[in-house]
Amino acid sequence: MKSPVYVPIVKGKLYDVMAVGALSSQERNITKPLIETMPINPKKPAIDEHVHKFCQYIRKHVPLGELFVDFYGLMPDACASDGTNATIFGYQLLKGLGRYATPVYGLERNDELWISLKDVVASFNKGFAFRLRRDDLAEDLVDETWSSIVERSAQMGLKEEAVDLILDFASLPDADTAGIEEAVISFFFHNPRVRRYRNIVVAASSALRTVGDVEKDGVSEVLRSELHLWSRLWHDMPDDVKPIYGDYGVIHPDFSDIGPNKYMNAKIRYTVGDKIVYFRGHGLLHPVKDYNQYYDLAKKVVTDIRYRTRKYSFGDSYIDDCARKLGKPGAPGTWVRADMNHHVTYAAEQVDRLVKVFSSLPNPADAAALLTAV
């Protein structure tokens, strides 16, 4: 495929992966999701089973289309039952299932894996992606980071044209991203060959970790600061070094897969313009079990003027069905699938449109206003 316009970072849980699988071919053709493993539940530390389940989710629900896969949730030194490093074991299993993807790895992980990764990368023949964290772009580490990228690429026998750089800033603490913009631009200009790399993705997230600050049974909006960050970087960089937009959908980067707790709240997250709108309900399990509240939440979404109609995406049809009470009210997992599917559909379409408009925009200062358009 040509370069994607959007790289959503997706948790390797069943309903999150299903959200990607439910994308239309139009959106799927312009996205390259990065699916990452969740950390292993310490109460069920069976590595083989954990990795098998993750790979089967991908094989079954995302069998086609370009994909990044990162076994990020595994401890760098974790091993499968046969003694193979768990990350290498995962890529071998994925290949054995016939699902080829671009391998992803970070500089801060197990240094002993790079030789083994060379064989993995060669067998997949999909290139390779370095996933860089905020610390990798610190001013006093930039030269070291570039040296490591060049060294590891050579070790795997890769030229820049087969290498992607994913600059993952994870959760954004506030809307002021000036420091991040500075760090990214500085990082780019430290290597005059940066334009040779296949894709450069800038990813971050403003998604809430909890809805504790949203009024119970109320509605609140959160600014998608990552969209504004990407837009400013896009206009600040030369034509041959344009960043690709990435985010975590509607899921907080540090989401913990501990499982439901008795104080969790019902919620529907709906992306419009440069906002994520949170429709919060109340306790699902406490003081009494109340899944039927999703019917009322869905009704709030479809009666909001910004709702896109049921034909827009799988997620939108799910919301509309629930508002009409055409089935069960759903549960947190099924609503993750709906929320994420709508978001990825919307973001892919939005960024694709923005890139085309940006290219002919006479005044870059006008770009911010375009991000708010619903």
CATH code of residue 191:
3.20.20
Of 242, 260, 278, which residue constitutes the final position of a domain? Answer: 260
For residue 259, what pLDDT band results from cuts at 50, 70 and 90? low
pLDDT digits (tens, 9 = 90+) for 313-358: 999 999 999 999 999 999 999 999 999 999 999 999 999 999 999 9
CB-CB contact of 330 with 291 (8 Å): yes
Confirm whether 304 is domain-assigned. yes
Pair 352, 209: CB distance under 8 Å: no
60 pLDDT higher than 90:
yes
On whether both 99 and 177 belong to a single domain, the answer is yes
The answer to whether residue 24 is domain-embedded is yes
Q: Phi/psi of residue 183, each to 5°?
A: -65, -40
Both 252 and 275 in a single domain?
A: no
Q: Report whether 48 contacts 92 (CB < 8 A).
A: no
Helix (H, G, I), strand (E, B) or coil at 282: strand
Specify the length of the chain in residues. 374
Last residue of a domain, one of 233, 260, 287: 260
The DSSP line for 309-344 is: -TTS-HHHHHHHHHHTT-S----HHHHHHHHHHHHH
Instruction: Note the helical H segments in 79-224.
Output: 86-96, 114-124, 142-155, 178-189
Same domain, 117 and 241: yes
Residue 197 belongs to a domain: yes
Burial class of residue 37, CB neighbours in 10 A (0-12, 13-18, 19+): buried
244, containing H or E segment: strand 244-247
pLDDT band at 1 (very low <50, low <70, confident <90, very high): low
CA 194 to chain centre: 23
Nearest to 163 by CA among 99, 76, 68, 248: 68
- Residue 142 lies inside a defined structural domain of this protein: yes
Same domain, 184 and 287: no
Inside any domain, residue 349: no
Average of per-residue pLDDT across 285-296: 94
Cα(229)–Cα(245) distance, integer angstroms: 9
The reply to whether 194 and 299 lie within a common domain is no
DSSP state of 97: T
How far apart CA 232 and CA 219 sit, in angstroms, is: 29
The tokens of 68 are what?
């990044």
Domains of the chain: total = 2
pLDDT at 40 over 70: yes
Judgement on whether residues 144 and 165 belong to the same structural domain of the protein: yes
CB count in 10 Å sphere of residue 154: 10
In this structure, the answer to whether residues 134 and 64 fall within a common structural domain is: yes
pLDDT score of 258:
61
Within a domain: 12: yes
Residues 46 and 14 in one domain: yes
Structure tokens at 368: 């911010």
pLDDT at 220 over 60: yes
Same domain, 274 and 182: no
Residue 352 domain flag:
no
- Using CA atoms, how far apart are residues 162 and 367, in angstroms rounded to an integer? 31
3-class DSSP state for residue 165? strand
Listed ranges 38-47, 152-161, 232-241; the one with the highest mean pLDDT = 152-161
Q: What is the pLDDT at residue 109?
A: 93
Phi and psi at residue 3, in whole multiples of 5°? -55, 135
By the 8 A CB rule, do 353 and 31 touch? no
DSSP H helix total and E strand total for the chain: 12, 11
Residues 216 and 186 placed together within one structural domain of the fold: yes
**Which of 199, 234, 260 marks a domain boundary?**
260
Same structural domain, 315 and 291: yes
What does the pLDDT look like over 71-126, one tens digit per residue?
999 998 999 999 999 999 999 999 999 999 999 999 999 999 999 999 999 999 99
Average pLDDT, the chain: 95
Using DSSP, state whether 109 is helix, strand or coil.
Answer: coil
Q: In this structure, how many other beta carbons lie within 10 angstroms of the beta carbon of residue 125?
A: 9
Domain enclosing residue 174, as ranges: 6-260
Q: Which residues of 294-330 are buried (b: 16+ CB within 10 A; e: fewer)?
A: beebbbbbbeeeebbebebbbbbbbbbbbbeeeeebb
- Asked whether residue 226 falls in the same domain as residue 279, the answer is no
Any bridge partners for residue 10, and if so which?
35
Asked, for residue 219, whether it belongs to a domain, the answer is yes
pTM for the model = 0.96
Q: What is the pLDDT of residue 260?
A: 58
Q: Are 206 and 248 in contact (CB under 8 A)?
A: no
- Cα(264)–Cα(373) distance, rounded to whole angstroms? 32
Neighbour-count burial of 53, counting CB atoms closer than 10 A to its CB (0-12 exposed, 13-18 middle, 19+ buried): middle
